Chain A
Amino acid sequence: MIDVKNITKRYNGTVVVDGVSLSLPAGGVISLIGANGAGKSTLLSIISRLLPMSSGTVEIDGLDVTTTPGEVLARRLSILRQDNQIMSRLTVEDLVAFGRYPHSKGRLTEDDRGHIRNALRYLDLEPLAGRFLDELSGGQRQRAFIAMVLCQDTEYILLDEPLNNLDVKHAVAMMKLFRRTADAFGKTVVLVLHDINFASCYSDRIVAMRDGRVVHQGPPEVIITPEVIRDVYGVEAQVMENAGQRIALYYQ
């Protein structure tokens, strides 16, 4: 369980995250949505200890993220931010193999190699395994980073806009993969998403933020409604139901 208590983050007096408390049970896909600047990415970075909070506490299964040793957390929680600028010339396989670092410390076992093979296969990266990252397209690189994080095989997987740079085919494949990771392996996948319809179709639970606060949370049928969308984004939307899934139309 991820237990966020009263998190506030200030930058030079500007409040970006404003007293957020949230408890996310283990298992399932959870999406964080909200307008630009609502504080989603900041909150995700604080939960994953990449950013210090101004006040408040975060506990992962009872472990305080600010005091628990980094290597212990790295076996329980993984995080991928957006815009991963990497200067190093690593091959896709090298990068994915580093996902095993928290477990193997560089000495790969047969078990580690199995994880690496699976991650490459799930993300359709086998033909690219020997290529250097700087020879890939943006979408291929994004998949390689996600493969690294999945290879880390942690209970909690946090991803900031994982669908960045992906075409429709790979975006759908990615969301299905997250669903499967949660259903078949019991993992907890927390995503920051811009596309509310992907959030609607694939999440167990949606958390909506506005101006640094959590304003709504619940299952898709509670969140994907014209009222909530108006409140969160300030746009008028129609919501349609199709085969049990709720789709918001807000294009006009």
Chain B
Amino acid sequence: MKTLPIATLPLATVGIGLLAVWSLFVGVSDVSLATLFGGGAADQATQVLLVSRLPRTLALILAGAAMAVSGLLLQMLVRNRFVEPSTAGTAESAIFGMMMVSLLAPEMPVFGRMAVASLCALAGTGLFLAILRQVPLRSPLVVPLVGIMLGGVITAMTEFIAYRQDLIQSVRGWETGDFSAILLGRYELLWLSAALTGVAYLAADRFTVAGMGRDVATNLGIDHRKVMALGLVIVSMTTAAVIATCGMIPFLGLIVPNVVSLVRGDNMRGSLPWVALMGAGLVLACDIAGRLVIHPYEIPIGTMMGVIGSALFLYLLLRRNGHAG
């Protein structure tokens, strides 16, 4: 058990690397080693690689890792296995923020949009936590149900306004993750979420302690409120950055941390790198599959993850039922 992670973490990294390379060479336009280094079409192939394929692959890795880690963080902070940004009102609130910016300040640069979406996500998650304090939690499943209901209410508000203002199309874009429109210059926001994931890793011990509850955290000299605040800011900003760039990827933050927890446990110092890697890997795999299934068209990743993710989630739910919570 103790030597396993050292032996297999590099191995997993290599596996994800191979997936990433594969991802570079999947698509309509002909990009292969032959065209890259070969004759006349080389310029065009290099162009496609650098402007479209490489940014897309990087975006997949960054978004996948960041969303999976966000799920892990929320689960530790809320102390519930079944929460992630899309079952805690976080994602829906971020989308509400994006829509309000499109409506009121359509000229705002993407960083500003993300900042507004982050604030909305923070407020929405705060509201979720405030509701949780008022509701008797008889079962661990009540927590995500509350989050899904809150998300439903926020989505209803978003869509009501969007419908009247002719913004439904944009809202759908944020709701369903899709990497087909990623180009150089339109994904760089995701580096911010990568940096936030790094911050989460630096504070991993504190988050693990916070996951043991307020009393244990206080006993160990940790300011539980500050750690909560830091975690919620990371989750909100990451979710907003991902939604602003490629749209929401559902289930990712739920499945990956749960699978890693079963195998590696929840000491975040050890499990967070795994969650990030597996998140990136799952997103890469789903995206490649989505591009191959109905080639030359593609299925957006939001749909792919929805199908694969819900099946995996049901499995985890039934498996854990014996000792849920």
A residues within 8 Å of B by Cβ? 48-50, 69-75, 78-81, 84-91, 94, 98-99, 101-102, 105-106, 130, 132, 134, 149, 152
Contacts and interface: CB of A to CB of B under 8 A. Distances in A.
B221 A84 contact: no
A196 B138 CA distance: 34
B166 interface: no
B210 to A, nearest CB: 10
Interface residues of B, number: 30
B221 A50 contact: no
Given A87-B80, A134-B323, A48 B266 contact: no
A49 B212 contact: no
A84 B76 contact: no
Contacts of A91: 265, 267
Given A80-B219, A89-B261, A90-B208, A106 B269 contact: yes
Interface string B279-293: 000000000000000
Contacts of B2: 130
A195 B66 CA distance: 51
Contact of A152 (B218, B220, B267): B220
A172 B323 CA distance: 31
Contact of A74 (B80, B208, B215, B220): B220
Nearest to A95: B212
A105 B208 CA distance: 12
Contacts of A48: 219
Given A98-B209, A102-B221, 12 more contacts: A70-B218, A73-B221, A78-B219, A87-B80, A88-B208, A89-B262, A90-B266, A98-B212, A105-B205, A106-B205, A134-B323, A152-B220
Contacts of A134: 323
Contacts of B325: 87
A101 B220 contact: yes
Shortest 3 CB-CB distances between A and B: which pairs?
A: A74-B221, A71-B221, A88-B266
Contacts of A79: 215, 219
B212 A86 contact: yes
20 contacts: A50-B214, A50-B215, A70-B223, A71-B221, A73-B221, A79-B215, A81-B215, A86-B211, A87-B140, A90-B267, A91-B265, A91-B267, A94-B265, A98-B205, A98-B208, A101-B205, A106-B205, A132-B265, A152-B219, A152-B220
A75 B221 contact: yes
Given A84-B213, A98-B208, A89 B265 contact: yes
B1 interface: yes
Contact of A86 (B80, B205, B213): B213
Contacts of B223: 70
B266 A70 contact: no
Contacts of A81: 215
A77 B133 CA distance: 29
Interface in B45-86: 76, 79-81
Nearest to B75: A87
B215 to A, nearest CB: 5
B79 A50 contact: no
A160 to B, nearest CB: 10
Nearest to A97: B267
B314 interface: no
Interface in B131-182: 140
Nearest to B323: A134
User: Considering residues B214, B261, B266, which has the most beta carbons from chain A within 10 angstroms of its beta carbon?
Assistant: B266
B108 interface: no
B216 interface: yes
A74 B1 contact: no
A132 B262 CA distance: 10
B1 to A, nearest CB: 6
B258 to A, nearest CB: 10
Contact of A101 (B209, B211, B215, B261): B209
Contacts of A72: 221
A88 B235 CA distance: 19
B233 interface: no
A69 B223 CA distance: 9
Contacts of B213: 84-86
Contacts of A86: 211-213, 216
Interface in B207-259: 208-209, 211-216, 218-223
Nearest to B79: A87
Contacts of B80: 87
A199 to B, nearest CB: 23
Contacts of B211: 86-88
Contacts of A105: 205
Contacts of A75: 221
